[in-house]
Amino acid sequence: MVAEFEVNKQIVNSLVTENVQLKEELASPRLALNSVRQQIQFMLLERRRVVRAGSPSNGQPPVGGAGGSRLKL
């Protein structure tokens, strides 16, 4: 009974350690992805602002654009 408890305790400890290591490994790519997301969002908002500021007063989309706000990557 005590031996079984010790084995279970070791298994749980190793799983916890592995979990912590995986979280640390995922932290860096997660930060990089969030940074790229923020940059894309900034570019889209800036593009939308520029398109709106440059659109003619007759409501037509600017030349060369369909009026959409999607960024072609």
pLDDT value at position 42? 96
Q: What sign has the CA pseudo-torsion 35, 41, 47, 50? A: negative
Q: What is the pTM of this model?
A: 0.49
Dmax over CA atoms of the chain, in Å, equals 83
Phi/psi region, residue 2 (left: phi>0; alpha: psi -120 to 50; beta: rest), is: alpha
Give the CA distances from residue 45 to residues 19, 28, 51, 66, 68, in Å, rounded to whole numbers and listed in that order: 38, 26, 10, 17, 12
Amino acid at 33: L
Residue pLDDT, tens place only, 7-49: 999 999 999 999 999 999 999 999 999 999 999 999 999 999 9
User: pLDDT at residue 1 above 60?
Assistant: yes
**How far apart, in whole angstroms, are the C-alpha atoms of residue 18 and residue 23?**
9
Query: Could you tell me the residue ranges of all domains in the chain?
Result: 23-49
pLDDT value at position 53? 86
